[in-house]
Amino acid sequence: MTSPPHLVQMSDAHIVHPGQLLSGGVDTAAHLRRAVDSVDKLMPAATAVLLSGDLVDAGSPVEYRHLRDLLAPLRCPVYLMPGNHDAVPALREAFADHGYLRPVSDDPLLAPHVLYAVDLGGLRLVALDTVVAGQSHGSVCEARLAWLDATLAAAPEVPTLVAMHHPPFDTGIGHMDAIGLRAGREGLAQVLRRHAQVERVICGHLHRTIVRRFGGTVAMTVPSTAHQIHLDLRPDGIPGFIHEPPGYAVHTLREGAVVSHLAASGDHGPPTRFY
């Protein structure tokens, strides 16, 4: 019996130069190694891995080369998309063999962005770039929304995941909502409502698991492979991160619908049977 597709979603790795620590104390490379090792042990094996933005911390070529080395042990296809900490030119240069990263059009409104769709064997992944170059917040313009609309219309019967870095909803974590998706939310919701095959909008950026209805479907964020954003829902909550367990998501197809699992990365020992 053929196994259904399993898409692993990692996010917000924030890889820095080899030997360096993020913010003076977070070994993001070691965390990503543990996540990669954990994913490689999944049963059945992952169909593909998506990294949904903030791949590196400063968008430098050295960081992307480091990221490439850290991802090398993965035994399945890897798909990358940028977040607000990334630099698309450097990303495209470091992963020049990843053809999906090339511009989808010569249109100056689309060419700077990473936009692609891939078939994972009964499950479709559509990546929508929300990055505003040089800024922390995100947006989607009319040109990108038109591309998304046409791309979704091309496969109306295939269960689909739309991936974006910035979530299209407020979360209650004020300092992160301030740098969320500022423009294009309503237009995005209108596009999604026209395409019933969209099972999930899967996002990063928040370094936490958060779920909400949006645009007639389910939108969610996933944990970082490294540090997490402190859960503080007060209007004047203090920005900060916390060393909660890192993790990733596994999106799998069951009875024509997507089921999403959240897993903690790392080695937690073998399973113990129930008796």
Domain residue spans of the chain: 6-264
213 SS3 class: strand
Confidence at residue 238, expressed as pLDDT on a 0 to 100 scale = 87
Domain 6-264 has CATH 3.40.50.720: no
Confidence at residue 267, expressed as pLDDT on a 0 to 100 scale = 83
Tokens matching residue 40: 């490689």
Q: Strand 228-229 relative to strand 181-183: parallel, antiparallel, unpaired?
A: unpaired
Confidence at residue 84, expressed as pLDDT on a 0 to 100 scale = 97
Cα angle 103, 107, 111 (rounded to 5 degrees) comes to 30
Report the distance separating Cα 160 and Cα 268, nearest Å.
Answer: 32
For the entire predicted model, the pTM comes to: 0.96
Confidence at residue 1, expressed as pLDDT on a 0 to 100 scale = 55
Ordered per-residue pLDDT tens for the chain, 275 residues: 578 899 999 999 999 999 999 987 899 999 999 999 999 999 999 999 999 999 999 999 999 999 999 999 999 999 999 999 999 999 999 999 999 999 999 999 999 999 999 999 999 999 999 999 999 999 999 999 999 999 999 999 999 999 999 999 999 999 999 999 999 999 999 999 999 999 999 999 999 999 999 999 999 999 999 999 999 999 888 899 999 999 999 999 999 999 999 999 988 888 889 98
Confidence at residue 246, expressed as pLDDT on a 0 to 100 scale = 95
Confidence at residue 236, expressed as pLDDT on a 0 to 100 scale = 86
Confidence at residue 24, expressed as pLDDT on a 0 to 100 scale = 78
Identify residue 257 by its one-letter amino acid code: A
Confidence at residue 261, expressed as pLDDT on a 0 to 100 scale = 97
Q: Which residues is 108 bridged to in the sheet?
A: none
Q: What number of other Cβ atoms are within 10 A of residue 160's Cβ?
A: 24
Tokens matching residue 195: 């395409």
